[in-house]
């Protein structure tokens, strides 16, 4: 039995402690906003916040989450999160949308750490998130727009 | 096998009789297909004929459903039934925009759902009347149909209000979902739905004057799916929840052509959570309560494969074979001028080049998957059904059920780029096989891992082009010799009978022939060898390679002739004002005549594809270790009436990024039948730090709209290669660019 906090709620899971957190979140706990893309921490579609830091849940064993705070796209609440999602929607960043939960989780974590990121900061924080529709130009613009709102 | 039948055998039996919403008949398809090629010039259908409620689901009493595309409920929601598949390119928003425009609905009241499988109602005349999305046809084939559908509904709502208020219909106006009459009378669509439903459907309706458009052509018309996709609530196939749903992964052949000899499931069955291990035609399926136990179970399988027929031997051996075939010549004639040999003899000089293009995987973000549920004598599937006509028939066949016992639930998908439209319906069929093999009425999702997806074939084929162009003493081309070697994408599909003419698969040669350029004395041939790897269309299909060859050759010829590449092209374009137009616009906006900083160069390229014209100018520099860095791309696009301008911009941005990924890194290499690349660590794709600044300029046009999903792709790689040639003097003959180290001259 492993206990951790998911989006503020205490959850107990009876599963193989080696199970990647991604599959616990999706299959055991039924939250499907977090996506599977590669299984080897290359694409970022599975990005969640682990104690506030972006991590690839496909490569994080359940055991590592014991006693920790995990946030998924469903649990986003911060000011930075609201600004990011608002910018994403108003600028129509998405295309197929499959990677966008992970993109947003990485973008929110960036802005929570650094409310005024440069292009280089954005590259550093977002280069682990692949988008095959190549929405990158809008992702960059939306992060700047969210930053402007947060620092206004 | 399913690879030799004509499409006629695949289409539902009732389509011969269907003269309804699409006007599509099986006989009509074959006739038009033979006459008009892949993109068929079938008369645009009108959605006038009454349809059975059962065809579109249950329409509640009081709802107004004047045709197969619109349903208005008393609560004032406007539901549009979307006949096209949404894989990110915005077809949902596009079709809704056109419907809402003619209906004069308010954008905020619009809801959408995806059409059931029914080619008679939801067929696409530009893909032969089959129900399917591809070839950048979603807007092009729907433009008049959706306008008529919206205008018809509007006319009936207006008639209902006129009756209620006892005023002439022409005294009424409609705006944002509200009908207004004399004396301040107002009614919402919902209030009139019941009355409108009782009126006859008019046979003639007036369409709006385009100058009165309020949604079409407006940047303010936004995507309908941004919120769901930005909050994690959008539901993809991987997210489907059903009672008792199981997850399966399949142990697949380790090489193309490999066959299963035997397997031992004991250890797999011992994995906690594994419920079934079953043999299916695709391999051995491990079924479990979740993805992780399924994957662990698969790992524990003991499998014995017969590899004696594994192939192809290697990518390099294939290239050697293809180059030998190209050098030997022959094959089928695509186009030949009688004076070709004589003209080539007259040439003052000749330019020759041989080009090599690798296999490419689509690598959509959501690996292939499908949910199948056999219960109570019926089959239901949930998936990315990009071509419902194929998927419906093949799912029924796999389940051994009649088609009317099979229901497809089409969901949005995490990308496709061509992958989900295939005439084998591979990921749908395998889910049905597993659902059947477990012999219980339980829903099961077959989920491919990234490696399953990437190693599964269905690639953009490997190609070789050999080109020889003779230039006259006046520096103008005199004769053009061109041979293409590579798998036919169409040959193994049921479209072969209709779309391969005299041995020529148009999708292999499109862009070389026909071409907007006036090619002097052409001699164009094609050889289409077969391989154990299944070929598939990949975003922009033949233009992925033909565009590169033609547009880099144009630059090479211009250089040989001592001319500016833009001027050289324009001189070869007769009566092609739209093609010349995008070239000039892109050049102007990119500052073609302005000097660039040292260490940077510009390249230009254009391609006419899927009835749209796109030109791009790429600004390129080199990194310290000799890698290309694409800094800026200026795009000019002419796609007729721009229905959703901001989505056209998005498709051009995305097309540039998608094409750049393949140009820089894309290749699947095969050794003894096994693809070397299996995930994003070895099959590199573009990341945000590599994304150039993209500027898009849309040509104002009153022409009927054409597609934008694919046409943004073809010009990018040649534009970059042309810039690199200017910067380094090195001509690129083989993609991806990562195979070459560049040095500044």
pLDDT at position B53 over 60:
no
* Interchain contact, A137 vs B364, CB within 8 Å: no
**Lookup: tokens for B350:** 């000749």
Cβ neighbours of residue B453 under 8 Å, at least 6 residues apart? B361, B363, B364, B367, B368
Cβ atoms B628, B740 nearer than 8 A: no
Give the B window 308-367 contacts with A, CB below 8 Å: 363-367
- Is residue A101 within 8 angstroms of chain B, CB to CB? yes
Do B294 and B150 share a structural domain?
Answer: no
> What average pLDDT score do residues B650-657 get?
98
Cβ neighbours of residue B648 under 8 Å, at least 6 residues apart? B637, B639, B642, B696, B698, B708
Do B411 and B353 share a structural domain?
Answer: no
Do B626 and B548 share a structural domain?
Answer: yes
Distance CA B735, CA B204 (A): 54
Q: pLDDT band for B495, please (50, 70, 90 cuts).
A: confident
Average pLDDT, chain B: 92
Q: pLDDT band for B504, please (50, 70, 90 cuts).
A: very high
Residue A130: which of A4, A27, A46 has the closest Cα?
Answer: A46
Distance CA B505, CA B488 (A): 6
Do B134 and B170 share a structural domain?
Answer: yes
Minimal Cα distance from B632: which residue of A?
A: A137
- Residues in chain B with CB shorter than 8 Å from the CB of A33 are 231-233
Cβ neighbours of residue B170 under 8 Å, at least 6 residues apart? none
> What is the interface size between A and B, counted as CB pairs within 8 Å?
181
Distance CA B632, CA B690 (A): 11
Do B130 and B260 share a structural domain?
Answer: no
pLDDT digits (tens, 9 = 90+) for B317-349: 999 999 999 999 889 999 999 999 999 999 999
Enumerate the CATH 1.10.150.120 domain ranges in chain A, comma separated: 79-151
User: What is the CATH classification number for the domain harbouring B222?
Assistant: 3.30.365.10
Distance CA B311, CA B533 (A): 8
Mutate to test the interface with A, among B93, B232, B369, B696 (most CBs of A within 10 A): B232
Mutate to test the interface with B, among A57, A122, A137, A146 (most CBs of B within 10 A): A137
Q: Give one word for B4, left, alpha or beta, with left for phi > 0 and alpha for psi -120 to 50.
A: alpha
Do B200 and B142 share a structural domain?
Answer: yes
ipTM metric: 0.99
Do B244 and B226 share a structural domain?
Answer: no
- Is residue A87 within 8 angstroms of chain B, CB to CB? no
* Interchain contact, A72 vs B238, CB within 8 Å: no
* Interchain contact, B230 vs A45, CB within 8 Å: no
- Is residue A104 within 8 angstroms of chain B, CB to CB? yes
**Lookup: tokens for B21:** 């919403």
Q: pLDDT band for B593, please (50, 70, 90 cuts).
A: very high
* Minimal C-alpha gap between B282 and chain A (Å): 21
CA B147, B148, B151, B157: dihedral to nearest 10 degrees? -140
Cβ atoms B108, B188 nearer than 8 A: no
pLDDT at position B196 over 80:
yes
Distance CA B555, CA B569 (A): 9
Show which of B230, B258, B290 is a domain's final residue. B230
pLDDT at position B574 over 80:
yes
Fold of A79-151: DNA polymerase; domain 1 (1.10.150)
Enumerate the CATH 3.10.20.30 domain ranges in chain A, comma separated: 2-73
- Is residue A93 within 8 angstroms of chain B, CB to CB? yes
- Is residue A45 within 8 angstroms of chain B, CB to CB? yes
CB atoms within 10 A of CB B195: 18
User: Do strands B406-410 and B378-383 pair parallel, antiparallel, or not at all (unpaired)?
Assistant: parallel
Q: Which residues of B365-415 form beta strands (DSSP E)?
A: 369-375, 378-383, 406-410
* Minimal C-alpha gap between B647 and chain A (Å): 9
> What average pLDDT score do residues A117-124 get?
98
- Residues in chain A with CB shorter than 8 Å from the CB of B694 are 137
Do B250 and B169 share a structural domain?
Answer: no
pLDDT at position B28 over 80:
no
Q: Which domain, by its residues, includes B80?
A: 4-230
Q: How far is CA B181 from CA B75, B509, B745, in A?
A: 21, 57, 73
Do B180 and B83 share a structural domain?
Answer: yes
* Minimal C-alpha gap between B633 and chain A (Å): 12
* Residues β-bridged to residue B696: B635
pLDDT digits (tens, 9 = 90+) for B707-736: 999 999 999 999 999 999 999 999 999 999
pLDDT digits (tens, 9 = 90+) for A38-89: 999 999 999 999 999 999 999 999 999 999 999 999 999 999 999 999 999 9
Per DSSP, B459 falls in state B
Per DSSP, B652 falls in state H
Of A85, A94, A130, which has the smallest distance from its Cβ to B685's Cβ?
A130
Of A89, A96, A134, which has the smallest distance from its Cβ to B227's Cβ?
A89
Q: Give one word for B575, left, alpha or beta, with left for phi > 0 and alpha for psi -120 to 50.
A: left
- Is residue A88 within 8 angstroms of chain B, CB to CB? yes
Number of domains in chain B: 3
Show which of B179, B201, B230 is a domain's final residue. B230
**Lookup: tokens for B579:** 């093609």
Residue B314: which of B674, B699, B564 has the closest Cα?
Answer: B674
pLDDT more than 70, % of chain B: 92
Show which of B400, B424, B447 is a domain's final residue. B447
- Residues in chain B with CB shorter than 8 Å from the CB of A137 are 653, 657, 691, 693-694
**Assigned architecture for domain A2-73:** Roll (3.10)
Residue B594 in any domain: the answer is yes
Q: Exposed (0-12), middle (13-18) or buried (19+): which is A36, by Cβ within 10 Å?
A: buried
- Is residue A98 within 8 angstroms of chain B, CB to CB? yes
What is the per-residue pLDDT for B54?
43
CA B189 to chain CA centroid, nearest Å: 35
Do B482 and B576 share a structural domain?
Answer: yes
Do B153 and B80 share a structural domain?
Answer: yes
Residue B425 in any domain: the answer is yes
Residue B452 in any domain: the answer is no
* Interchain contact, A131 vs B272, CB within 8 Å: no
Do B219 and B109 share a structural domain?
Answer: yes
Distance CA B729, CA B13 (A): 59
Residue B744 in any domain: the answer is no
What is the per-residue pLDDT for B220?
95
Q: pLDDT band for B57, please (50, 70, 90 cuts).
A: low
* Interchain contact, B292 vs A123, CB within 8 Å: no
């Amino acid at each position: 039995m492993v206990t951790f906090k998911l989006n503020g709620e205490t959850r107990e899971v009876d599963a193989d402690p080696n199970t990647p957190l991604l599959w616990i979140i999706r299959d055991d706990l039924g939250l499907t906003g977090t996506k599977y893309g590669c299984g080897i921490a290359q694409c970022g579609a599975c990005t969640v916040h682990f104690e506030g830091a972006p991590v690839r849940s496909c490569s994080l064993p359940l055991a590592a989450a014991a006693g920790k705070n995990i946030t998924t796209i469903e649990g986003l609440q911060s000011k930075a999160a609201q600004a990011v999602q608002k910018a994403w929607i108003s600028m129509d960043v998405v295309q197929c949308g499959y990677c966008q939960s992970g993109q947003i989780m990485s973008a929110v974590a960036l802005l929570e750490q650094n409310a005024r990121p440069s292009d280089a900061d954005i590259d550093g924080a977002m280069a682990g998130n692949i988008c095959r529709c190549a929405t990158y130009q809008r992702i960059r613009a939306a992060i700047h727009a969210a930053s402007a709102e947060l620092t206004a | 096998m399913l690879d030799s039948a004509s499409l006629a055998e695949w289409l539902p039996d009732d389509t011969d009789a269907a003269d309804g919403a699409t006007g599509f008949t099986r006989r009509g398809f074959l006739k038009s297909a033979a006459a008009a090629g892949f993109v068929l010039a079938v008369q645009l259908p009108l959605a006038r004929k009454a349809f059975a409620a059962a065809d579109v689901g249950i329409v509640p009493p009081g709802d107004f459903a004047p045709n197969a595309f619109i349903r208005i409920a008393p609560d004032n929601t406007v539901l549009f039934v979307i006949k096209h598949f949404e894989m990110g390119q915005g077809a949902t928003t596009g079709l809704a925009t056109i419907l809402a425009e003619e209906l004069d609905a308010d954008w905020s009241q619009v809801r959408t759902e995806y059409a059931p499988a029914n080619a008679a109602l939801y067929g696409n005349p530009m893909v032969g009347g089959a129900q399917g999305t591809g070839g950048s046809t979603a807007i092009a084939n729907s433009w008049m149909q959706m306008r008529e559908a919206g205008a018809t509904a509007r006319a009936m709502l207006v008639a209902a209000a006129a009756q209620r208020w006892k005023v002439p219909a022409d005294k009424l106006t409609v705006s944002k979902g509200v009908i207004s009459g004399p004396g301040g009378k107002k009614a919402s669509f919902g209030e009139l739905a019941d009355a409108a439903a009782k009126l006859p459907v008019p046979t003639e309706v007036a369409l709006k004057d385009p100058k009165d458009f309020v949604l079409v052509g407006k940047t303010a018309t936004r995507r309908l799916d941004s919120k769901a996709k930005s909050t994690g609530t959008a539901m993809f196939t991987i997210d489907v929840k059903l009672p008792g749903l199981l997850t399966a992964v399949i142990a697949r052949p380790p090489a193309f052509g490999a066959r299963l000899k035997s397997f031992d499931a004991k250890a797999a069955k011992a994995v906690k959570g594994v419920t079934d291990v079953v043999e299916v035609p695709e391999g051995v399926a491990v079924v479990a309560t979740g993805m992780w136990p399924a994957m662990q179970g698969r790992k524990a399988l003991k499998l014995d494969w017969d590899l004696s027929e594994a192939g192809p031997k290697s990518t390099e051996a294939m290239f050697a074979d293809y180059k030998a075939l190209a050098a030997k010549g022959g094959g089928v004639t695509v186009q030949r001028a009688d004076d070709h040999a004589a003209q080539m003899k007259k040439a003052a000089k000749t330019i020759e080049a041989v080009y090599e293009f690798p296999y490419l995987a689509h690598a959509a973000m959501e690996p292939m998957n499908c949910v199948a549920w056999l219960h109570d004598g019926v089959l239901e599937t949930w998936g990315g059904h990009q071509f419902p006509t194929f998927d419906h028939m093949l799912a029924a066949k796999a389940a051994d059920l009649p088609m009317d016992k099979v229901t497809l639930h089409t969901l949005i998908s995490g990308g496709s780029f061509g992958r989900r439209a295939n005439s084998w319906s591979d990921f749908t069929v395998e889910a049905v096989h597993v659902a059947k093999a477990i012999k219980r009425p339980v829903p099961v999702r077959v989920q491919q891992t990234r490696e399953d997806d990437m190693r599964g074939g269905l690639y953009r084929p490997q190609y070789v082009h050999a080109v020889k162009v003779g230039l006259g003493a006046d520096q103008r081309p005199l004769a053009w010799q061109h041979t293409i070697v590579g798998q036919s994408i169409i040959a193994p599909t049921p479209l072969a009978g209709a779309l391969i003419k005299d041995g020529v698969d148009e999708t292999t040669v499109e862009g070389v022939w026909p071409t907007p350029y006036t090619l002097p004395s052409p001699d164009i041939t094609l050889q289409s060898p077969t391989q154990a790897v299944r070929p598939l269309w990949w975003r922009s299909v033949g233009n992925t390679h033909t565009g590169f060859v033609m547009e880099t050759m144009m630059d090479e010829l211009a250089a040989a002739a001592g001319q500016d590449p833009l001027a050289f092209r324009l001189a070869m374009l007769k009566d092609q004002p739209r093609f010349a137009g995008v070239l000039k616009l892109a050049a102007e906006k990119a500052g073609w005549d302005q000097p660039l900083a040292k260490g940077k160069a510009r390249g230009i390229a254009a391609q006419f594809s899927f009835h749209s014209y796109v030109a791009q100018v790429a600004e390129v520099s080199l990194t310290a270790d000799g890698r290309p860095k694409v800094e800026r791309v200026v795009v000019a696009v002419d796609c007729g009436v721009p229905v959703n301008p901001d989505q056209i911009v998005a498709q051009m941005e995305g097309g540039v990024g998608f094409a750049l990924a393949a140009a820089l890194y894309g290749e699947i290499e095969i050794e003894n039948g096994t693809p070397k690349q299996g995930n994003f660590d070895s099959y590199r794709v573009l990341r945000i730090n590599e994304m150039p600044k993209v500027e898009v300029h849309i040509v104002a046009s009153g022409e009927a709209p054409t597609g934008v999903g694919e046409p943004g792709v073809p010009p990018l790689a040649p534009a970059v290669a042309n810039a690199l040639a200017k910067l380094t003097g090195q001509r690129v003959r083989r993609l991806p660019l990562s195979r070459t180290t560049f040095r500044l001259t």
